[in-house]
Amino acid sequence: MTISRRNFIKTSGIATTGIALGGLALSARSYGNVLGANDQLNIAVMGTNSRGHWLSDGFAQSDNTHISHICDVDKRVIEKTSAMIMKKYGYQPQGEKDYRKVLKDKDVDIVVIVAPDHWHAPASIMALQAGKHVYVEKPCSHNPKEGELLVQAQKKYGKVVQMGNQQRSAMETLEAMQLINEGAIGEVYYGKAWYSNSRGSIGTGQLASVPEWLDWELWQGPAPRREYKDNIVHYNWHWFQNWGTGEILNNGTHEVDICRWALGVDYPVKVTSNGGRFHFQDDWEFYDTQNANFEFEAGKMINWEGRSCNSFNINQKGRGASIHGTKGTFVLDRSGYQMYDNSNKLIKEALSSNRSNTADLVGGGNMDLVHFDNFLKAIRLGEKQNSPIDEGHKSVLLCQLGNVAQKTGKTLHCDPSNGHIINDGEAMKMWGREYEPGWELKV
């Protein structure tokens, strides 16, 4: 398929008609919030140390947008990202460490949330209550209850919420989904998602004085308070349960989402997980090796294999998804897809000329820009979203259930209408979390 990026952006909302995208149906109230195509959108970005630095740049590149605020609890980061915006785009965003103050500015139209995982749903809900549209990085929640509350809040306040599972907007992935939907590999029944890396040890953290550049109280925000250690900020929080969600949500969310989309399934009936922290003995509280299985009513199944500390590839790829059907197999990653018949003969291939980074801490690329464009057009023009939050929540929930199954060591039986765990009070205690007093979530 030969198509320019510009024409793809213009037509992608139409071209995907008929694919199970889980699009957002705009209510009458939502239509009242749609802006004119040429109206400038003011954007505040929360958390710009690495990935957020790129998102600030990416949204600044988008048509008729203005980065009005850079919000971070690290004053060095505010200075760095603001300087980048000034150098590249010729204006100075306002710097602010307290996200709540940004929400009081009525001129802010959108908040982009790239803070640690424990902030994602609380900050999104607060933004919706303040009348802002939301772009939130994956995972959209720290735990299943937060995901449910975020979906409720979006429906209640009628703003556009899009999750950063940007492969949903990749041209080659959209084409593959269309082919799968048309029966190119027969009836699909199994998806395998994987991610491998060669992460080092995070060591054993020592209690330390909070650096003068960091507001540790605001960094923790809604999470119960913990003392500061020297191996948490900025990245290693991913591996601590109080703030992070482990590799299956940090990276597995992307490929599990592709599998769920391709198989056309929502909530599982059974979840199992095996693995552990095998490679190093340190403060890492999640799993560097995990194999999680999700079974669905329709006789379909998804498997996720994560290896955080061993980067040996699967299908010659460090990360990706394979979709298996009665007539063949698709292998997809962020560079495109290959389609094979049941004799393992390659019968079709589509590769992107605009590769996005897949293993670094930033992950920037053209795929993000197209995803941003879809989000902005959903706000301005009511274009169908490629990743509405109710769909994003379903994929995140699968990964969260994988962690619950791993931690409890049990087979989880789930209600296929909402994913709730059946007849297991111990496991359902992990459906939500405790909050620092005064930070409890309300919709």
Residue 273 pLDDT > 80:
yes
Rounded to 10°, the helix 252-263/171-181 angle is 30
Other beta carbons less than 10 A from residue 2's beta carbon:
4
Q: Report which of residues 21 and 140 the model is more confident about.
A: 140
Question: pLDDT at position 15, please?
Answer: 39
Q: Classify domain 5-168 at the CATH topology level.
A: Rossmann fold (3.40.50)
Distance of CA 407 to the CA centre of its chain: 22
Task: Tell me the one-letter amino acid at 25.
Answer: A
Rounded to 10°, the helix 51-61/366-381 angle is 60
- For 170-203+232-366+387-428, CATH number out of 2.102.10.10, 3.40.50.300, 3.30.830.10, 3.30.360.10 equals 3.30.360.10
Residue 187 pLDDT > 80:
yes
Question: pLDDT at position 366, please?
Answer: 87
Total-model pTM: 0.91
Question: pLDDT at position 3, please?
Answer: 36
pLDDT band at 355 (very low <50, low <70, confident <90, very high): low
Question: pLDDT at position 354, please?
Answer: 61
What's the rounded mean pLDDT across residues 249-278? 98
Residue 20 pLDDT > 90:
no
In three-state form (DSSP H/G/I as H, E/B as E, the rest C), the secondary structure along the chain is CCCCHHHHHHHHHHHCCCCCCCCCCCCHHHHCCCCCCCCCEEEEEECCCCHHHHHHHHHHHCCCEEEEEEECCEHHHHHHHHHHHHHHHCCCCEEECCHHHHHCCCCCCEEEECCCHHHHHHHHHHHHHCCCEEEECCCCCCCHHHHHHHHHHHHHHCCCEEECCHHHHCHHHHHHHHHHHCCCCCCEEEEEEEEECECCCCCCCCECCCCCCECHHHHHCCCCCCCCECCCCCCHHHHCCCCCCCHHHHCHHHHHHHHHHHHCCCCCCEEEEEEECCCCCCCCCCCCEEEEEEEECCCEEEEEEEECECCCCECCECEEEEEEECCEEEEEECCEEEEEECCCCEEEEEECCCCCCCCCCCCCCHHHHHHHHHHHHHHHHCCCCCCEHHHHHHHHHHHHHHHHHHHHCCCEEECCCCCCECCCHHHHCCCCCCCCCCCCCCC
Q: How far apart are CA 78 and CA 141, in angstroms?
A: 24
Residue 274 pLDDT > 50:
yes
Residue 210 pLDDT > 90:
yes
pLDDT in tens, 100-143: 999 999 999 999 999 999 999 999 999 999 999 999 999 999 99
pLDDT band at 155 (very low <50, low <70, confident <90, very high): very high
Instruction: Identify the sign of the CA torsion 202, 203, 206, 211.
Output: negative
Q: In Å, how far are 49, 223, 392 from 122, measured between CA atoms?
A: 20, 10, 16
What is the percent of the chain where pLDDT is above 70? 89
- For residue 385 the two structure tokens come to 């979203």
Task: Decide if 265 contacts 217 (C-beta within 8 A).
Answer: no
Q: How far apart are CA 319 and CA 82, in angstroms?
A: 33
Report the chain's mean pLDDT, rounded to a whole number: 91
Report the C-alpha dihedral over residues 66, 251, 404, 416, rounded to 10 degrees: 80
What's the rounded mean pLDDT across residues 348-376? 77
Residue 93 pLDDT > 90:
yes
Task: Tell me the one-letter amino acid at 434.
Answer: E
- For residue 80 the two structure tokens come to 């760095």
Residue 359 pLDDT > 50:
no
Domain ranges of the chain: 5-168, 170-203+232-366+387-428
